[in-house]
Amino acid sequence: MRIRWIGVSVLVAVVAVVWAASIQGQAPAAAPAAARQAQPAARQATPAAAPARQATGLARAEDGHPNLNGIWQAMNSANYDVEAHNAKPGSHPELMGAWGAEPGGMGIVEGGTIPYKPEALKKKQDNFKNRMLVKVTNDPHRFDTGDTELQCFRPGVPRANYMPFPFQIFQNRDQILMVYEYKGAMRTVFMDKHQEAPVDSWMGWSNGRWEGDTLVIDVTGFNGHQWLDRAGNFFSDTAHVVERWTPRGRDHMMYEATIEDPAVYTRPWKVSFPVYRRLEANAQLLEFNCVPFVEEMMYTPLGLYNPPNRSSR
């Protein structure tokens, strides 16, 4: 009983804040339906949206918007480094050889370089040096650590979209659900009831809208622990990410994310890359529940990991 309370208390802290906010957030929901319905029409009339609206050959949902349902995946090496990078040996070449080596890549950053403030660039470089640092504590120091992916933490946005795992989009008129194979991380995109992020989180709070055939998602409410890749690129809890998902045919979309964070960057900057539909007839997300994969690494230094087959009994 005690154990469960310990675990639950953390959740409760989150839920408590969320409840408070969700209660406040219910007020806008009462806005007149007519006003809400008027918004998409107004957006479609914007010059930027007009050309995209004419795209043909797209699968469409019953409401006329592009139908993004399906399993998608990016095909790039940005998860190693979002900037252009050479192929190189991995962190433990003495053990991992070519298995652990990292492919080169052209990068996905528009203009090539992330516009860090000087002190933030220093932190990025420190991050890289400490990328395999694991610090398991029962206080907030557990987040003074290396890459979150190493410890099976949620990847945040936009990183989740270019990790080397498929993800699945489930689309409704009022909500869009995105489920990522990595960790089974999920996010709900609210298309109708927009609200300010009620609480900070790993995956952020997503408010979505259609601009012509482009799904635009405003993501805020990050907790500031997100890394963008294994190279130490990062943003803070003041980050604001605007994603643009634009289908270019039935089986691929262009993805763009503008990242704004005055605490870290001198100006907003952008990543872009295509995502492709997984066309295998039997394509399906499988579980990648990585918690059991990281327990030995995380808990051995504390003397807390000892699988039964290693005990003396």
Kindly identify the residues of this chain, within the stretch 154-173, that bind other proteins according to CB under 8 A.
154, 168, 170-173
**Which of the ranges 32-40, 183-191, 210-218, 228-236 carries the binding residues for other proteins, by CB under 8 A?**
183-191
- Which is closer to other proteins, CB of 21 or CB of 84? 21
Alpha-carbon distance values, 198 to 15, 87, 189 (Å)? 10, 41, 14
Task: Please tell me the distance from the alpha carbon of residue 273 to that of residue 255, in angstroms, as a whole number.
Answer: 5
Give yes or no for residue 267 binding other proteins (CB under 8 A): no
Give yes or no for residue 289 binding other proteins (CB under 8 A): yes
Give yes or no for residue 265 binding other proteins (CB under 8 A): no
Query: Is residue 128 helix, strand or coil?
Result: helix
Do 247 and 43 form a contact (C-beta atoms < 8 A)?
no
Do 80 and 89 form a contact (C-beta atoms < 8 A)?
no
Give yes or no for residue 8 binding other proteins (CB under 8 A): yes
Give yes or no for residue 69 binding other proteins (CB under 8 A): yes
Do 253 and 246 form a contact (C-beta atoms < 8 A)?
yes
Alpha-carbon distance values, 48 to 28, 34, 133, 197, 208 (Å)? 28, 24, 45, 27, 17
Give yes or no for residue 119 binding other proteins (CB under 8 A): no
Out of 86, 142, 248, 274, point to the residue binding other proteins (CB under 8 A): 142
- Which is closer to other proteins, CB of 7 or CB of 262? 7
CB of 99 to other proteins, least distance (A): 22
Give yes or no for residue 306 binding other proteins (CB under 8 A): yes
Give yes or no for residue 177 binding other proteins (CB under 8 A): yes
Which secondary structure element, helix H or strand E, spans residue 126, and what is its range?
helix 118-129
Give yes or no for residue 194 binding other proteins (CB under 8 A): no
CB of 3 to other proteins, least distance (A): 5
Site for other proteins in 24-53 (CB under 8 A): 26
Give yes or no for residue 257 binding other proteins (CB under 8 A): no
Out of 90, 164, 184, 224, point to the residue binding other proteins (CB under 8 A): 184
Strand partners of residue 88: 102
Query: Is residue 275 helix, strand or coil?
Result: strand
- Which is closer to other proteins, CB of 204 or CB of 232? 204
Alpha-carbon distance values, 209 to 108, 227, 271 (Å)? 24, 26, 20
Chain-centroid distance, C-alpha 258: 13
Task: Please tell me the distance from the alpha carbon of residue 137 to that of residue 130, in angstroms, as a whole number.
Answer: 17
**Which of the ranges 88-96, 114-122, 230-238, 303-311 carries the binding residues for other proteins, by CB under 8 A?**
303-311
Task: Please tell me the distance from the alpha carbon of residue 61 to that of residue 69, in angstroms, as a whole number.
Answer: 9
Do 246 and 52 form a contact (C-beta atoms < 8 A)?
yes
Give yes or no for residue 54 binding other proteins (CB under 8 A): no
- Which is closer to other proteins, CB of 82 or CB of 298? 298
